[in-house]
Structure 1
Amino acid sequence: KTASVMVWAGVSATGRTLLIFVEKGAKINTEFHLEEVLKKELKGKGNWTSQQDGAPSHKSKKVQRWCRQNLLDFIYANEWLANSPDLNVMDYSVWAILEEKACAKRHSTQPMTINPMDICQMGPPDGRFCGFKVMYTYNKETLQCDEFWFPGCTTADTNANLFIDMQSCEKLAEMCRRCKFLNVKALFYYNYYSI
């Protein structure tokens, strides 16, 4: 029998969270998701719009209420676009990268000891994501364009604030410096995955 493990992670244009390893046998229900993830990892952190998928533990009334009361901004379960690759980077890109890294070598049968650094380094030593590409985004706080690494599952024309080159981003930045009307937040997406 091959070993398996469940992890939780979150990503945004500005980086990623640490992996949270879910203990074998844990049930991912409303209470677990709220107590072990949301309250510990997200409360009071980040200036982003939080997004999670439609899993029962994510869309429960209790979790939705907690998110509304404790996160700066989040996308309600009934507004989530489940089949949008550019809004679901975890499902359409990150988990595949994680699984490829974790399954590059065969692991022993249960019980399995896990060293997070051995099982998943999602990028080269400089910390950038493997399989991601350089894109640019307008930063409304600095009024500048920032380079970041983005999964290769979208193009600049699918998001008004993503650009494939600095020159295109600078055009928007210059317009916004003059008008100061653009209000863009980072989208923070998180989810569980079992490998």
Structure 2
Amino acid sequence: MYKNNVISLIARSYSKKHLKRPKIINKAVEDVGKSLSNKGFLRSHKPYDAPADAVEKVHSICSTLQISNKNEYKLNNLEEKFKFLEACFASFNHGVPNSQVHEVQTIGDVVDFYQRSVNTTVPYEAFKNMELPENLHIQYEYLRFHPDTDTKFGGKSAFPKSSTLVTGIKYREKYAGHIAKRSWP
């Protein structure tokens, strides 16, 4: 009798804990994509310019593989889906990323994917090709302080005890680092 009461008490407290949890709402992939694009995150994708005849190419691949070319046709068979996406990759030289394969369920989804261009230009780099207002200047190649090469203030720094270290491998050859002299032993 005691054992059954303990089990029912545990079961009730366990179920109450689950009731208090907030429900997790799955965000749509487009919302996640918008969030990432707003943050400036750029995944390592190859640039892709969508051809004008993308629809015709996808429909010709459908006819080659003897698949219906209607946009509503679902790719339920995984082997058929794999062969179809593989043929599309060979034709367009652009593949569906692994993170988006589950989203591609119909022929229409594939057509939409291959009609979308992929721009890999970072917004900072895009400023180089834009005509900026006269009062805005962006210095793309920045200057680093070094007492031997600084001529404006005669090698004097506003932060005399701070070192300017170059830690990146890419920029070690481009910029010289400087280790500040310490006044204590």
Q: TM-score, normalised by structure 1?
A: 0.18
| Greater helix content | 2
Max Rg structure: 2
| Greater strand content | 1
Using CA pairs under 8 Å that are at least 6 residues apart, name the structure with larger relative contact order, 1 or 2.
1
Q: TM-score, normalised by structure 2?
A: 0.19
